[in-house]
Structure 1
Amino acid sequence: MTFADELATTLELARWATHRMTVRPTSVTTKANAADLVTETDREIERHVCAVLADRFPDHAVVGEEYGGEPAVDGAPTWYLDPVDGTTNYASGLPWCCFSLALVDADGPALGVVADPFRGEVFSAVRGGPALCNGAPIQCREANTLAGEVVVTEWAAYRPWPGMTTLLERLAADLCTTRIMGSSALSLVSVAAGRAAAGVIGEFNTIDLMAAVFIADQAGADVRGQDGEPTLFPASGGILVAAPGVAERVWRAWTAPA
């Protein structure tokens, strides 16, 4: 199955969403706490995307960041949508956020799109095909040492996740620089595009990460869970996306006892 219709729809939705995201929000409110922001743009994009997907693929389920939803049963197709990944950046005018949409079926991830409105870049992948940025193939970098490299990570909401500071210290000891940019999806597709050697996210969330993790996998990255096993769906804990030559070293820096 080529997923041609699904991909065309996803790219159409990504173009619409990123155009909307170039406008600063006029209304910013909170959800769980004062650091958990949501804008009218998040909600508008999610409503529009859900409506289009329901119209074109009525047998598919949709799970979104703002309005929730339940995955389909028996492996039927399910979309995972984060309308604005990096809402705090978006609400503050920091140009590092993205639209993220992935489709998963009984065989696993089928396609993923991560779109950056401020750099005009659309990262995409379909099962069995290459990872692309604006239609051109991308590949993770051929790093074999961490010295002089960049590893990306993200906060757990607004706090360090357990073990995060230890990881940062160990990477620094290897002369590796760490970056925390504010959008997990954009951070991980940066690994896919060869702009960072690895990315470690302390807690896997399918809505936020599925599209980016799948794109990185299709770009040749080593993707594994906190237990070190290859997976695109960690049952618990976080996820590592890395150039194969440094994956083991970053994983040990992340998980070795302090």
Structure 2
Amino acid sequence: MQGTPNLTSLNRLAAEAARAGGQRLRELWRAGRVQVNARTAHDVKLQADLESEAAILDVLRRGRPGEAILTEESGVSGGRDGDGLWIIDPLDGTVNFSHRHPHFAVSVAWAWRGEPRVGVVYDPLRDELFEAHHDGGARCNGVPVGVSAVAGLAEGMVVVGYGKDNPGEHAGAALRALAGRVQKLRISGSAALDVSYIACGRLDAYCEHSISVWDVAAAAVILREAGGACLTWAWPEPLRRRCLATNGHLETELLSLLGLDPAQCAGRYDR
């Protein structure tokens, strides 16, 4: 493949795919259909994940036939030797969905030679579509968005991810480090939405000890284009990362409080 494909066209395709997956989730939600396929201590797999994924893949395979796709549910398919890669989470916030808690989203990212360049996060219940592509700005439902001006943790609202890998220890440590230092702490259950909320100023920072690449690939692009920053650190599992996302102003304080070394981060998405 010669040269970077047109990012505006890829953004449109990603948005179409995210809306297709979101439409299926909305239908299942309204019908009250929650079919559990598997459970673990801190996670759940639903039929809804698979049905959303099928709708997304149908759009992408028609629009970019043969291009490589990485999804949470099915792994890698398509052209493994190409430079482009779709990174999909068909239902970010599966546990929320299973409990009828209305905070979940579809995440669709496109990476070029390993770097996410296009990101779309779609909340099907609120019908909010967050989107961005490299050097194209960030938008929510077509309206430009930007991060908050909050410059001190005492005024900040920070989200801690409660992941599936020993959350009592890892999320607990973050909560203890931040408690009393921030205005409010939250645990929301959807990294893609939480990071997108930082991009539009509703939240100020997000951290999680171990998260999958498909959870934040799209939102990291959106946050970067909104003026924030998403940092990731390598993890023993190749598709998992430690993550810190901020409005940019709170990064230094949070790195110190959480004991994170920016020199060791494996990926940094900012302007």
Class of the TM-score when normalised by the shorter of the 2 chains: 0.7 to 0.9
Decide which moves more: 39-48 or 210-219.
39-48
What is the TM-score normalised by the length of structure 2? 0.83
Residues 16-165 of structure 1 correspond to what in structure 2 (within 5 A)?
Answer: 16-22=20-26, 23-24=28-29, 26-31=33-38, 33=40, 35-69=42-76, 73=80, 76-106=83-113, 108-157=115-164, 159-160=166-167, 162-165=169-172
Q: CA deviation at 1:170?
A: 2.5
Structure 2 contact 131–222 (Cα < 8 Å) conserved = yes
Q: CA deviation at 1:7?
A: 1.9
Residue 208 (structure 1) aligns with: 215
Q: CA deviation at 1:223?
A: 2.3
Residues 153-232 of structure 1 correspond to what in structure 2 (within 5 A)?
Answer: 153-157=160-164, 159-160=166-167, 162-226=169-233
Unaligned 5+ runs, structure 1? 228-233
Structure 1 contact 100–114 (Cα < 8 Å) conserved = yes
Q: How many residues get paired?
A: 251
Determine the C-alpha separation between the residues in 1 that align with 2:176 and 2:75.
Answer: 36
Unaligned 5+ runs, structure 2? 262-271
Determine the C-alpha separation between the residues in 2 that align with 1:153 and 1:127.
Answer: 27
1:158-180 Cα distance to aligned partner (Å, 9 max, x none): 75265432321232231432100
Determine the C-alpha separation between the residues in 2 that align with 1:125 and 1:51.
Answer: 22
Determine the C-alpha separation between the residues in 1 that align with 2:182 and 2:134.
Answer: 36
1:205-255 Cα distance to aligned partner (Å, 9 max, x none): 21111001111111111322349xxxxxx9974111112221110111111
Determine the C-alpha separation between the residues in 1 that align with 2:77 and 2:24.
Answer: 26
Identity, % of aligned pairs? 28
Residue 266 (structure 2) aligns with: none
1:157-206 Cα distance to aligned partner (Å, 9 max, x none): 27526543232123223143210011111111111111111111212421
Determine the C-alpha separation between the residues in 2 that align with 1:250 and 1:202.
Answer: 13
**Aligned-residue RMSD, C-alpha:** 2.5
Q: Quick one: which of 238, 245, 252 aligns to 1:241?
A: 245
Structure 1 contact 226–255 (Cα < 8 Å) conserved = no
The runs of at least 4 consecutive aligned structure 1 residues that moved more than 6 Å come to none
Residues 70 and 236 (structure 1), Cα distance of their counterparts in 2 relative to 1, 3 Å cut = same
